[in-house]
Structure 1
Amino acid sequence: MTFQAIAFDLDGTLVDNAGGVALALNTALHEADLPCFDLQRVRGWIGDGPDALIERALRAIDLQDVDTAWLSTRVRRNFDAMVLGLPFAECSIYAGIEKLLEQLGRKNVPLAVITNTPTVLARAVLEEAGLLGCFTTVRGADTAALRMPSPLLIEQAARALGTRPERMLMIGGSASARQAACAAGCRAAWAGWGYGLLGSEQGDTVWRLDTPADLLVRMALPQTRRRGRPAA
Structure 2
Amino acid sequence: MSIRVFAFDLDGTLADSIPDLAHAANAARRDAGLATLDVALIESFVGDGTESLVARAMAADMAANFTGSEAQKEALARFDLHYQAGLTLKTKLYPSVANTLNELHDCGYRLAIVTNKPERFTLPLLKELGIDQVFEVIVSGDSLATRKPNAEPLLHVMQQMGVSAAELLMVGDSKNDILAARAAGCKVAFVRYGYGVAINMPDADVTIGRFDELLNWLEAQD
Q: What is the alpha-carbon distance in structure 2 between the residues aligned to residue 186 and residue 89 of structure 1?
A: 35
Q: Do the aligned residues in 2 keep the contact of 1:16 with 1:93 (CA within 8 Å)?
A: yes
- One-letter amino acid matched to 1:164: S
Number of the residue aligned with 1:64 = none
Q: Which structure 2 segments of 5+ residues have no match?
A: 62-66
- One-letter amino acid matched to 1:157: V
Q: What is the alpha-carbon distance in structure 1 between the residues aligned to residue 107 and residue 126 of structure 2?
A: 21
Report the TM-score, using the length of structure 1 for normalisation: 0.87
Number of the residue aligned with 1:20 = 20
Q: Which runs of 4+ in 1 moved over 6 A?
A: none
Per-residue CA shift, 1:172-213, capped at 9, x if unaligned? 00101110110011111001222222243423x431011112
The alpha-carbon deviation at position 144 of structure 1 amounts to: 8.5
Q: Do the aligned residues in 1 keep the contact of 2:144 with 2:153 (CA within 8 Å)?
A: no
Number of the residue aligned with 2:217 = 218
Q: What is the alpha-carbon distance in structure 1 between the residues aligned to residue 69 and residue 126 of structure 2?
A: 30
Per-residue CA shift, 1:16-66, capped at 9, x if unaligned? 0000100111112222222221111111111111111112123327xxxxx
Number of the residue aligned with 2:208 = 209
> What secondary structure, in the 3-state scheme, does the structure 1 residue paired with 2:194 have?
coil
Cα gap change, 1:44/1:51 in structure 2, threshold over 3 Å: closer, same or farther? same
Q: What is the alpha-carbon distance in structure 2 between the residues aligned to residue 159 and residue 199 of structure 1?
A: 33
Number of the residue aligned with 1:146 = 146
Q: What is the alpha-carbon distance in structure 2 between the residues aligned to residue 41 and residue 184 of structure 1?
A: 31
> What secondary structure, in the 3-state scheme, does the structure 2 residue paired with 1:221 have?
helix
- One-letter amino acid matched to 1:102: N
Q: What is the alpha-carbon distance in structure 1 between the residues aligned to residue 94 and residue 17 of structure 2?
A: 10
Percent identity, aligned pairs only, is 27
- One-letter amino acid matched to 1:221: A
Number of the residue aligned with 2:33 = 33
Number of the residue aligned with 1:94 = 94
- One-letter amino acid matched to 1:218: W
Per-residue CA shift, 1:132-171, capped at 9, x if unaligned? 1111121111178422111111111222222133320000
- One-letter amino acid matched to 1:172: G
Number of the residue aligned with 2:164 = 164
Task: Say whether 1:200 aligns with 2:200.
Answer: yes
Q: How does 1:1-232 map to 2 (within 5 A)?
A: 2-60=2-60, 69-142=69-142, 145-203=145-203, 205-222=204-221
Greater displacement, 156-165 / 45-54: 156-165
Report the TM-score, using the length of structure 2 for normalisation: 0.90
Greater displacement, 3-12 / 144-153: 144-153
Q: What is the alpha-carbon distance in structure 1 between the residues aligned to residue 91 and residue 79 of structure 2?
A: 16
How many residues were matched structurally?
A: 217
Greater displacement, 159-168 / 114-123: 159-168
Q: Do the aligned residues in 2 keep the contact of 1:116 with 1:148 (CA within 8 Å)?
A: yes
Q: Which structure 1 segments of 5+ residues have no match?
A: 62-66, 224-232
